[in-house]
Amino acid sequence: MSLFASTDTARGEASPVSQDVTEQQTDLLFGLIHVGPNLLHQFLDATERDICLIKEFFSDPESAKDYRSMIDSILRVTHGIKGSATLFDLTLYTRQIEDIEGELVRLKNNNSPLSIESFSMVIEVIDATEKALLETQNLLQELIRAKLPAANEITKTQVFIQNASSLIVEFGQATKKKVILHYGAFDLDMLPEKYYQLSVDIFVQLIRNALAHAIEPPAERSLAGKHECGNLYLTCERTDTFYQLSVQDDGNGLDLQRLKRQVTDTDDDTKPSAIKAGVKLAKLIFQPGFSTMKTASKEGGRGVGLDMVHQLVSDADGSIEFKFSPGNGCLFKVYLPL
């Protein structure tokens, strides 16, 4: 396999190299130089495991009993892949996962009965993603053998902050929002290996949630007497009893009355029963498929991110604390056992 797309110098035309392979090469060059081969390997290995998990859902006879519940389970997995791919700026995988999520949400919202045939497009893209993973792994080995400069000395914390900053800039350009990232007591490198990818996934989802739902556009912030730039605060620390992750914003907080109206107006009979007190109402944001956005977009609105965070924390035997002040922001704290 040729490492780079070549050009026919006699005719000045690009050789017939697929767009996806060229994109993989570009992604990997950026990733190897700015992230490093070890973290890229971790992403590829984790994504390969996640793809295998998704394929197991389709082969499990129990899944056929409730395809819509299966969709929620798959969306949690794909959202994690997309978060890591976005963080590392691996656009090929981000685009493929967005295609999968869009189709899954369409199927979930379709009232027609579902069968395995309903997921043909999803399965096709999953197969393509699995093939892309193999090609990417081969390309990565070629890049390493070529002894290109790599970010071997950069720490996991530096990689995350660097890419989180890029994510915020990209998000801001798409949503016309301005956000300043603060990360004083933030150290991913002190986490045990079993918590590293888990913590990255949690941080990515909580950052995306803050950018999509909490931080207001500049004009709206100015009307509320705030600086037009929103603030996002990250911490990652170890205490005597647990590892603590936190994400705090100074956005619009959570409007319980609006949330109550939104829930009451829905046709879903299971949600109104949860409206007993403000704290219980607030917990709805962790429910699968629930979103305060009216329409879904690339930036959010599918009701997956916080559901995924809740599931990840639960699976790790951790706990999550959520505080909010209407008009003044939200604070998420995650506690993971030592």
99 neighbors 81 (Cβ within 8 angstroms) = no
DSSP at 217: P
- From CA 40, how far away is CA 33, in angstroms rounded? 11
Taking Cα atoms as reference points, which of 155, 164, 124 lies closest to residue 247? Answer: 164
- Count of structural domains, the chain: 2
pLDDT in tens, 156-201: 898 888 888 888 888 888 888 989 999 989 999 999 989 998 999 8
Same-domain status, 134 and 202: no
Indicate the residue among 145, 179, 208 that finishes a domain.
Answer: 145
Residues 115 and 45 in one domain: yes
In a domain, 150, yes or no: no
State the DSSP code for 260: H
- Per-residue pLDDT, 18: 46
Claim to verify: residue 266 and residue 117 sit in the same structural domain: no
Which of the pair, 236 or 256, is modelled with greater confidence?
Answer: 236
Give the tens place of pLDDT for each residue, 13-57: 443 334 555 555 665 565 555 666 777 778 888 888 899 989 888
CATH code of residue 170 = 3.30.565.10
Domain of residue 209 covers 156-337
Tens of pLDDT, residues 245-282:
999 999 988 777 777 776 666 555 444 444 444 446 66
Q: Is residue 62 part of a domain?
A: yes
Judge if 114 and 212 occupy the same domain.
Answer: no
Q: How many helices (H) and strands (E) in the chain?
A: 11, 7
Domain boundary among 90, 125, 145: 145
Closest CA to 229 of 183, 164, 182, 178: 178
Let me know whether 34 and 88 are in one domain. Answer: yes
Choose the final residue of a domain: 145, 164, 187.
Answer: 145
Cβ-count burial of 118 within 10 angstroms (0-12 exposed, 13-18 middle, 19+ buried)?
A: middle
Q: What angle do helix axes 305-315 and 67-87 make, rounded to 10 degrees?
A: 90
Q: Does 2 or 127 have the greater pLDDT score?
A: 127
| Residue at 2 is within a domain | no
The pLDDT of residue 301 is 43
Q: pTM for the whole thing? A: 0.68
Q: What is the mean pLDDT of residues 71-84?
A: 86
